[in-house]
Chain A
Amino acid sequence: MRSFFLRRLAVLIPTVLGAITLVFFFLHMIPGDPVEVMLGETAQQADKERLREELGLNLPLHVQYGNFLIKIAQGDLGESYFYRRPVAHVIAERIPATMELALVAFVVAGLIAIPLGIIAALREGTTVDNLSVLFSLVGVSMPNFWLGPLLIILFSLKLGWFPVSGRTGVASLVLPAVTLGIGLAALLSRMTRASLLERLGEDYLTVARAKGLPEWKVILKHALRNALIPIITVMGLQIGVLLSGAIITENVFAWPGIGTLLINAIEARDYPVVQGCVLLISLSYVVVNLITDLVYGWADPRIRLRG
């Protein structure tokens, strides 16, 4: 178990390093000058040069990259060009909002998807099953920038249940979480259905029934637990998507998270903030994957042994 964990940790470093390296070079390759954005066009050339020097933007790219890596290794993410404050602070302010939205969306997705998947599998071929297919199709195909406003019009303008946007408490979290969660729920419900159907014919279920277990216990404890492995994998990958990919949802609901920060930073050519966000996102992907692997162990003890 320990060696498994250590080996996974060892993979973590090159993965994150690769991601931030790619972003570093891509960012510097695209046109647009952060100094121009910061000082505006009206600034004097000498001031622009001074600032460029101050930010180290006058150095050759490979030197900038080296400095960037040394700083990262020291835990220093640099200072935001736009906010002129430490990147770590700027990002830290946004993390709670994004985490909150991602986790609640994740729970919403699970609460919709798993029961729906189970029912669809148990009632295979019936109307319920067909409706779940329809839900998945719609859920997967509906873009968040469209679903979000639709939910706002219905639940906020017509029914008045929730605020339109902003982060003002529990009520304000519902619509963005549902918007973000529905796509994932659609995917997960299909996976739950398919995976569970595969298990339903297994011999050990017959054994469980023969022991006299009630049907719900047979399904939940024996069939579902075994069916969960692929679902956990997908959920693990998706929580990374939720943490980083809530950009559109955050935009629609004026949710002050990492997504909006990242988009603004790219527009302002705020290199340090973009790099900081990417570092955070790639870290969260890797860590979540690691956790996923650990959860496998809980769902299927054989995986632990092999590790």
Chain B
Amino acid sequence: MRRVILLLPLLFVLACGARENLPGIGIRVGIEGSIATLDPRLAVEARAMQIAPLLYNALLQMDEKGRLTPDLAQSWSQPDATTYLFRLRQGVYFHDGREVTADDVRATYTFIMDPHHGSPRRGSYAAVSRIEVVDRYTVRFVLKTIYVSFPYALTVGICPQGSPAGLKTPPVGSGPFRLERWRPGEELVLAANPRYHGGRPGLDWIQFRVLVNTTTRLLEMKKGEVDLLQNCVPAYAVKFMHRIPGIRILQAPGITYQYLGYNLTDPILRHKEVRQAISYAIDREAIISHTLKGLAVKADGMILSPFNWAYEGDIQKYAYEPERAKELLNAAGFPDPDGDGLRVRFSLSYKTSTDMEALEIAQIIKGYLQAVGIGLEVRSFEWGTFFGDITKGNFQVYSLRWVGVVDPDIFYYLFHSSSVPPDGANRGRYLNVALDRLLELSRRTIDQTRRRELYSRIQKILAADAVYTSLWYRDNLVVIREGFRKFRIYTGGEYTSLQHIAREASDVPAVVLP
């Protein structure tokens, strides 16, 4: 009996041993966390959406610079302000052999809009009145009201008509890869789709491995068990990565915008001069070069990146001018009680997550503000708590980032007086009637030039009011093993270019997946 008990663990071990091999050559990609669902109609997480273009085709997709480009759509037009007409490519097949038709497009969006499916994406289609199948390859979207940002909602992967909600097993797609196996929290393996309409991908498979622990991720890269890490190598580790032979580091300007947010209902922070003073007091260039090791670009815009068509660079800028900050604070009625002494004009609390880098940056900002006579109490919270506090307005100053913003309509969502949580993300409770009017107008204006002018005015107002302190745009950072050619960085972090990547047999010995 005792012997049997001792053998139990061994049996367990043997039970977990076997794994099927994948033939051919592929790439192993480390990712930071698990994926909840791959069903494009339900997924809203960044990780799922970055992988989606490999499995699914959408009417439109994002290109490298975050611009909308046709994917399944061969052409599209807008016969009037509330109608969008899409002509589909012919000869595109789902992985199960069925052809992609207008019915599938309608079914995909109808599924999202059906409240019974509880899709988190549903809100983006509130303006849709009906979706009509004109013929096998033509589909028409009719909106109730003008909604100029509507095309941004058409990047959802198309699934075959009648696909049930695929939480465990996502519906099939028509993308360059099909799902081979998925162990949530562990790995996701995609295999090449030989019938892909855009041509067979250069790789036979892609394995995404969930590696939550940063040290482990880096060691896997060093050992050669992972070939690609995108935006999950911390700045301090880049030097370490450089020393590993056979590894290339690619860096490209990104659109992830880091900022300080303020509670404008706070008796101190409602003074514009105080917020401006904070903006002048922080030496962002020093933080970028020392703490972020040059892996960011100073942000002199409001939220939108310089890549964006609506970006306005000619706004009030805040260089590092601590003297000016002091003057502004004096003018706002907060004199320094003892000059360069230890006493402060006032103290603020600064909320951030428990992320190591965020904490380090918070401490540096604390130092800068101390120098102009502002006390800062840094408080870090586990993510759920931190985020809960921010949406409830339970903060004075916080630091966060906006990831993947491409649609300038975000300004409405962030700063319109009707967007105060829970109805939007106007977390600082910024109320400005003039801005509200511009924001409303921008939503209804179809003429692109006119819209651009409106957004320009909006950005100027926001910058002058220092509603946010813009910090920087984080670079996209990719660590990739040599031998993989043609990998391109997408500003939104999408893995789209893995379909074009080539690994030549002569480059490095092929890896067979365990």
Contact A83 B36 (CB under 8 A): yes
In angstroms, Cα B514 to Cα A50, docked, is 44
Q: Bound state CA distance, A44 and B125, in angstroms?
A: 11
Nearest residue (CB) in B for A94 is B185
Nearest-Cβ distance from residue A41 to partner chain B, whole angstroms? 5
- Asked if A39 is at the interface (CB within 8 A of a chain B CB), the reply is yes
B237 within 8 A of A: no
- Per the bound structure, the CA–CA distance linking A84 and B33 in Å amounts to 17
Please indicate the chain A residues that have their CB under 8 angstroms from the CB of B382 in the complex: 266-267
In the complex, chain A residues whose CB is within 8 Å of the CB of B387? 32, 36-37
Contacts of A266 in B (CB 8 A): 382, 384
A299–B185 CA distance with the chains assembled, in angstroms = 41
A173 is an interface residue with CB less than 8 A from chain B = yes
Indicate which residue in B15, B34, B222 contacts A96 across the interface (CB closer than 8 Å).
B15
Q: State whether the Cβ of B341 lies closer than 8 Å to any Cβ in chain A.
A: no
Are A156 and B223 in contact (CB-based, < 8 A)? Answer: yes
Given A152-B216, A166-B209, A170-B17, do A33 and B12 touch, yes or no (CB 8 Å)?
no
Q: Which residues from 339 to 373 on chain B have a C-beta closer than 8 Å to any C-beta of chain A? A: none
Whether the Cβ atoms of B16 and A269 lie closer than 8 Å is no
B506 part of interface (Cβ distance < 8 Å):
no
Tell yes or no: A30 within 8 A of B by CB: yes
List of A residues within 8 angstroms of B186 by Cβ: 166-167, 254, 256
- Residues 76-116 of chain B: 1 if any A CB is under 8 Å from the residue's CB, otherwise 0? 00000000000000000000000000000000000000010
Known: A42-B413, A254-B212. A93 touches B514 (CB 8 A): no
- With A36-B387, A83-B167, A149-B219 given, can you name 19 additional A-B contacts, CB distance below 8 Å? A32-B385, A40-B44, A42-B124, A42-B425, A43-B123, A45-B422, A47-B123, A48-B422, A84-B167, A85-B168, A96-B12, A97-B16, A107-B6, A149-B215, A149-B216, A169-B18, A254-B213, A264-B33, A266-B382
Smallest CB-CB separation from B14: which chain A residue? A170
Scoring B19, B33, B223, B421 by chain A CB atoms within 10 A of each residue's CB, the highest score goes to B223
Q: Is A203 located at the chain interface by the 8 A CB criterion? A: no
Q: What is the CB-to-nearest-CB distance from A48 to chain B, in angstroms, rounded to a whole number?
A: 6
Nearest CB to that of A44 among chain B residues?
B123
- Kindly provide the distance from the CB of A220 to the nearest chain B CB, expressed in whole angstroms: 14
Interface presence of A205 (CB below 8 A): no
Task: Knowing A41-B425, A152-B219, say if A264 contacts B384 (CB, 8 Å).
Answer: no
Task: List 8 A–B pairs whose Cβ atoms lie within 8 Å, in order of A's numbering.
Answer: A32-B384, A36-B391, A50-B115, A94-B185, A152-B219, A165-B216, A253-B216, A256-B210
Residues of A within 8 A of B213 (CB): 165, 251-252, 254
A36-90, CB < 8 A from B: 36-45, 47-48, 50-51, 54, 82-85, 90
> How far is it, in angstroms, between the C-alpha of A164 and the C-alpha of B384 when the chains are bound?
30
**For B424, what are the chain A residues with a Cβ–Cβ distance below 8 Å?**
41
Separation of A260 and B385 alpha carbons in the complex (Å): 19
Known contacts A164-B220, A252-B215, A264-B185; A54/B12 CB under 8 A:
no
Q: Which A residues from 95 to 113 make CB contacts under 8 A with B?
A: 96-97, 99-100, 103-104, 106-107
A2-44: which have CB < 8 Å to B?
30-33, 36-44
**What distance in Å separates the Cβ of B44 from its nearest Cβ neighbour in chain A?**
5
Does A167 contact B16, Cβ atoms closer than 8 Å?
yes
Return the contact of A42 from the options B123, B168, B185, B216 (Cβ within 8 A).
B123
Q: A149 vs B216: C-alpha distance in the bound complex, in angstroms?
A: 7
Q: With CB as the reference atom, state the residue of chain B lying closest to A93.
A: B184
Indicate whether B225 reaches chain A with its CB closer than 8 angstroms: yes
Contact A268 B384, CB 8 Å, known A54-B118, A85-B168, A254-B216: yes
Contact mask for chain A residues 242-269; partner B; CB cutoff 8 A; 1 contact, 0 none: 0000000001111010001100101111
* A contact residues, range: 35 or more
Contact B37 A84 (CB under 8 A): yes
Q: A39-B120, A167-B186, A169-B19 are in contact. Are A45 and B13 (CB under 8 A)?
A: no
Once the chains are docked, how many angstroms separate the CA of A56 from the CA of B40? 26
CA gap between A253 and B213 in the complex, in Å: 8
Q: Are A156 and B123 in contact (CB under 8 A)?
A: no
Q: Does A141 contact B (CB under 8 A)?
A: no
Q: How far is the CA of A171 from the CA of B215 in the complex (A)?
A: 20
Q: How far is the CA of A64 from the CA of B514 in the complex (A)?
A: 45
Q: In the complex, which residue of chain A has the Cβ closest to the Cβ of B45?
A: A40
Asked whether B392 is an interface residue with its Cβ less than 8 Å from the other chain, the reply is yes
Please, how many angstroms separate the alpha-carbon atoms of A268 and B384 in the complex? 7
Residues of chain A contacted by B388 (CB below 8 angstroms):
31-33, 36
**Residues of B with Cβ closer than 8 Å to A?**
6, 8-9, 12-19, 33-34, 36-37, 42, 44, 115, 118, 120, 122-124, 126, 165, 167-168, 183-187, 209-213, 215-216, 219-220, 222-223, 225, 382-385, 387-389, 391-392, 394, 413, 421-425, 514
* Cβ contacts under 8 Å, A165 to chain B: 211, 213, 216, 219-220
Closest chain-B Cβ to A10's Cβ sits at a distance in Å of 27
Q: Does A153 contact B (CB under 8 A)?
A: yes
Query: Is the beta-carbon distance between A254 and B422 smaller than 8 angstroms?
Result: no
| Cross-chain pair count, CB within 8 angstroms | 155
Q: Which residues on B sit within 8 Å (CB–CB) of A40?
A: 44, 120
CA A253 – CA B514 in complex, angstroms?
16
Closest to B12 in A: A100
* Residues A41 and B185 in contact, CB atoms below 8 Å apart: no
Nearest-CB distance from B50 to chain A (Å)? 15
- Whether A168 sits at the interface, judged by CB under 8 Å, is yes
Report the bound CA distance from A264 to B9 in whole Å.
27
Q: How far is the CB of A68 from chain B (nearest CB, A)?
A: 20
Complex contacts, B212 vs chain A, CB 8 Å: 251, 254, 260
Q: In the complex, are the beta carbons of B126 and A44 less than 8 A apart? A: yes
- Listed from nearest, the 7 A-B pairs whose CB atoms lie closest are A32-B384, A31-B388, A32-B388, A44-B123, A103-B9, A256-B186, A169-B17
Cβ of A79 to closest chain B Cβ, rounded Å: 10
Of A30, A83, A170, the residue contacting B13 (CB under 8 A) is A170
Cβ distance B126 to chain A, nearest Cβ, rounded Å: 7
A254-B209 contact, Cβ under 8 Å, with A31-B392, A39-B120, A44-B122: yes
What residues on A are CB-neighbors of B6 within 8 Å?
107
How far in angstroms is the closest Cβ of chain A from B209? Answer: 7
Is there contact, CB below 8 Å, between B385 and A169?
no
Q: A83: nearest residue on chain B (CB-CB)? A: B36
Q: In the complex, what's the smallest C-beta–C-beta distance from A261 to chain B, in angstroms? A: 7
- In the assembly, what is the distance between CA of A83 and CA of B35, in Å? 9
Q: What are the residues of chain B within 8 A of A256 when measuring CB–CB?
A: 183, 185-186, 210
For residue A99, give the distance in angstroms from its CB to the closest CB of chain B.
7
Are A83 and B184 in contact, CB atoms less than 8 angstroms apart?
yes
Cβ of A297 within 8 Å of any chain B Cβ, yes or no, is: no
Find residues 223-246 in chain A having any chain B CB closer than 8 Å to their own CB.
none
Min CB distance A197 to B, Å, is 25
Q: Within the complex, what minimum Cβ distance (angstroms) separates B60 from chain A? A: 18
Task: Determine the residue in chain A with the shortest Cβ distance to B385.
Answer: A31
Within 8 Å CB of B122, what residues of A?
A: 43-44, 47
Which residues of chain B are near A164, meaning CB under 8 Å? 216, 219-220, 223, 225
Contact status of A43 and B13, CB under 8 A, knowing A164-B219, A168-B19: no
CB distance from A110 to the nearest CB of B (A): 10
The interface residues of chain B lying within 8 Å CB-to-CB of A32 are 384-385, 387-388
With known contacts A165-B220, A254-B213, A104–B16 Cβ distance under 8 A = no
